[in-house]
Amino acid sequence: DTEVTQTPKHLVMGMTNKKSLKCEQHMGHRAMYWYKQKAKKPPELMFVYSYEKLSINESVPSRFSPECPNSSLLNLHLHALQPEDSALYLCASSQQGASNEKLFFGSGTQLSVL
Amino acid sequence: ILNVEQSPQSLHVQEGDSTNFTCSFPSSNFYALHWYRWETAKSPEALFVMTLNGDEKKKGRISATLNTKEGYSYLYIKGSQPEDSATYLCAPPGAGSYQLTFGKGTKLSVIP
């Protein structure tokens, strides 16, 4: 199984809502990532978890809260988002997080904030 | 944040044509260079990870070369097919870390 599964595929939420994005992989990878991609721009790194510990937070606003309950799961909790947070959110994983390891991506959650 | 440039931004070729595009990146503190293919409505898919100057990798009709001293990589597609239509992204990892800085990509359209 070389898949990274993200749910939901699409999400529409209001600015007062609380929602969560989920990501799952069963490849035994110990590094997991959240990327944000706005239209016509490259993916931008948000968070990196290494061995279930948050190792990189790229100055992301606190309305985004990541969680890694175990080595297979990665969540992104969303609260009080702004319309400019509308984007494609991609999850990825790699074996241990070394720079020469391929990333395996999910197909993303398309988020619209109204 | 690394400065990563890809050219051209977009490319239209006829089926059967061969094509190539470029990724430029800072040559100092080089760790690795990743290439990904991203088809519409699908997940980005890793093509190559290249680490050595002069490295050349091949996967079917797609190949890539790497020049770390001058800071560029070329991706070649031989005999383009409609299924090659995608955005091709390159990404060098940041200095001393595993975070990738993606270029804006080259969008390839292969016309049947």
Is residue B31 over pLDDT 90? no
Torsion of CA A100, A95, A50, A90, to 10 degrees: 90
Is residue B29 over pLDDT 80? no
Question: Would you call B70 helix, strand, or coil by DSSP?
Answer: coil
Average pLDDT over residues B9-15: 97
pLDDT confidence band for B103 (50 / 70 / 90):
very high
How far off is chain A from B31, nearest CA to CA, in Å? 7
Subunit contact B49:A105, Cβ cutoff 8 A: no
pLDDT of residue B2: 75
Burial class (CB in 10 A: 0-12, 13-18, 19+), B23: buried
CA dist., res. A102 & res. A94, Å (int):
6
Is residue B25 over pLDDT 60? yes
CA dist., res. A111 & res. A96, Å (int):
28
A6-20 pLDDT tens trace: 999 999 999 999 999
CA dist., res. A72 & res. A94, Å (int):
11
Torsion of CA A89, A93, A97, A102, to 10 degrees: -100
pLDDT of residue A1: 66
| Two structure tokens written together for A112 | 């619209």
pLDDT of residue B97: 56
Residues of A in contact with B32 (CB under 8 A): 99-100
A33-80 pLDDT tens trace: 999 999 889 999 999 999 999 988 888 999 999 999 999 999 999 999
pLDDT of residue B95: 57
**Nearest residue of A to residue B30, measured between CA atoms:** A99
Residues of B in contact with A48 (CB under 8 A): 98-99
Q: State how far the alpha carbon of A28 is from the alpha carbons of A3, A25, A45, A72, B98, in Å.
A: 11, 8, 21, 7, 18
CA dist., res. A33 & res. A42, Å (int):
15
Average pLDDT over residues B86-107: 85
Residues of A in contact with B31 (CB under 8 A): 99-100
